[in-house]
Amino acid sequence: MNIRYLSIVIFIPSLMSSCHNNTGRRLDAADTTRKAVRLLTLDPGHFHAALVQKSMYADVDSNVFVYAPPGPDVKAHLERISAYNTRAKDATRWNEHVYTGPDFLQQMIRDRKGNTVVLAGNNREKTAYILRSLQAGFHVLSDKPMVIDETAFSQLREAFDTAAARNLVLYDIMTERYEITSILQRELAAMPAVYGTQEKGDARNPGILASNVHRWYKFVSGNVLTRPAWSFDVAHQGEGMVDVMTHLVDLIQWGCFPDQSLDYSKDIQVDHARHWTTNLSLSQFRIVTGIDQFPDFLKKYADPKKDTVLKIYANGEIDYRLKGVFVKAATAWTYDAPPGAGDTYTSTIRGTKANLLILQDTAQHYQPTLYIEPVTKDPAYEQTLNAQFATLRSNYPGISLKKEGPRWEVLIPDHYKEGHEAHFARVTEKFLGFIKDHNMPGWEVPNMIAKYYTTTKGLELAKQNKYP
């Protein structure tokens, strides 16, 4: 038996007591009848891989086959699954079967123990993992980002061609589509009587603005998140504009151009981009990684004036045009958040009759809040808004409007506010439906390609210092 595999058994016996090496595993007795989907978790270096398994799914076998290099990443992943299996409420019952040999990718393909690969880890390797998995005949559910540079973008296009040729599903995890304020913003933007038509704007005053701020120090499933050291190396994690900015670009496409297929070669013009660094001190690094010193591979990011500080290209801004509409997307990372805050998101989309804003600052107690802001003083607008909102309320019972000066706040009952971690189950269920029913909308694939074209093109321009 592989010694590296045995070390995992020792660290988390409650999870691994039913597991053997890759040639002699026992299967969960509850799933002796093979279910439609059996998961393969490949090189899980990011906590999103575990969040996919925070819930159970009717068509998914409880036996999950993990293939990874030995080390702290796979250990942390298995500990998270163990915590879900042993929690007091709604415990899961995943049965993890682990292979940690150096040929883990080849072994996964040889074993063929499952039919669906889950990917969330080192972003430098991810695109190649996606392509190899599809070539081997597996469906793929991938965490964002699928690509972090222009070279990988061409490989991703090949991956989608492979998926189409082999009737496989390749899908990325866009959790923010399930945030209720984004859902309602999208619904309101589709009401001409409320929103009008989309303003194109200009370079100084875009028609669409979106931004997010993420934190390195954060809690996940009730515990402080431990991040791998490589996640601070942009050669592996990717810069902010090709990583978390994917959510912004996705929401802009999904919310402002719903159900429309986008052609990145015709519909997108990336005009300007810039990037800048966030400082991470050695003491902060120790807290979020549990590692005492900067590894050698990170020292290239050390501040030349102070070698106990890393300067990480975590922040970026892209100005582009989408079907003629001027867009600004900006992303940033900080070490931690103000008290009561976490990751935050803001959005402004401008219509000819109203602007729709999502704000998440001190005034909103750091909770995402949706506002409708009329652009004229038409006395009939309020009557029209109330009539249109009644239609929306029929689909989302309990929502209401509250007048705040010149604008209205959309009041949303708490039961619609599921939270970021719960959204992983929503995405996974959607993906599983695509596998089962062969009903992925025709716009999804071209729009994923368009999204990654935008982010990787933006990074290329930022590195060329073309922003004034």
CB 67 within 8 A of CB 99: yes
* Beta carbons within 8 Å of 250's beta carbon, 6+ residues apart: 174, 176, 177, 447, 451
Residue 19 CB burial class (10 angstroms; 0-12, 13-18, ≥19): buried
d(C-alpha 136, C-alpha 355), whole Å: 47
Give SS3 for 455. Answer: helix
CB of 203 closer than 8 Å to CB of 196: no
Nearest to 214 by CA among 283, 312, 123, 308: 312
Among 445, 459, 450, 448, smallest CA distance to 266 is for 450
What DSSP designation does 351 have?
B
Task: Find all residues with CB under 8 Å of 223, minimum gap 6, and list them.
Answer: 83
Q: Which two tokens stand for residue 295?
A: 């590894």
Can you give the pLDDT at residue 28? 54
Q: What are phi and psi of 449, to 5 degrees?
A: -60, -45
Cβ pair 170, 159 in contact under 8 A: yes
3-state secondary structure 179-228: CHHHHHHHHHHCCHHHHCCECCECCCCECEEEEEEEECCCEECCEECCCC
User: Using CA atoms, how far apart are residues 70 and 88, in angstroms rounded to an integer?
Assistant: 30
Q: Rounded to whole angstroms, how far apart are CA atoms 430 and 99?
A: 28
Question: Taking the CA atoms of the chain, what radius of gyration do you get in angstroms?
Answer: 23
HSE, CB side, 13 Å, CA atoms: give it for residue 212.
20
d(CA 222, CA 234): 27
For residue 25, the model assigns a pLDDT of 44
Q: What amino acid is encoded at 463 in this protein?
A: K
pTM of the model: 0.92
User: What CA–CA distances, in Å, run from 414 to 139, 341, 345?
Assistant: 35, 17, 18
Percentages (nearest 5) of helix, strand, coil residues in the chain: 40, 25, 35
| pLDDT tens per residue across all 468 residues of the chain | 343 443 333 234 333 333 334 433 455 544 545 689 999 999 999 999 999 999 999 999 999 999 999 999 999 999 999 999 999 999 999 999 999 999 999 999 999 999 999 999 999 999 999 999 999 999 999 999 999 999 999 999 999 999 999 999 999 999 999 999 999 999 999 999 999 999 999 999 999 999 999 999 999 888 889 999 999 999 999 999 999 999 999 999 999 999 999 999 999 999 999 999 999 999 999 999 999 999 999 999 999 988 899 999 999 999 999 999 999 999 999 999 999 999 999 999 999 999 999 999 999 999 999 999 999 889 899 999 999 999 999 999 999 999 999 999 999 999 999 999 999 999 999 999 999 999 999 999 999 999 999 999 999 999 997 544
Residue recorded with tokens 């050698």:
296
Residue 174 pLDDT:
98
Domains of the chain by range and CATH?
A: 3-173 (3.40.50.720), 176-425 (3.30.360.10)
Q: Cβ-count burial of 421 within 10 angstroms (0-12 exposed, 13-18 middle, 19+ buried)?
A: middle
The CB-side HSE value for 160 (13 A sphere, CA atoms) comes to: 19
For residue 442, the 8-state DSSP code is T
Q: What HEC string does 267-305 produce?
A: HEEEEEEEEEEEEEEHHHHHHHHCCCCCCHHHHHHEECC
For 126, the token pair is 């991810």
Handedness of CA 436, 244, 416, 52 (dihedral sign): positive
- CA distance linking residue 219 with residue 309, whole number of Å: 23
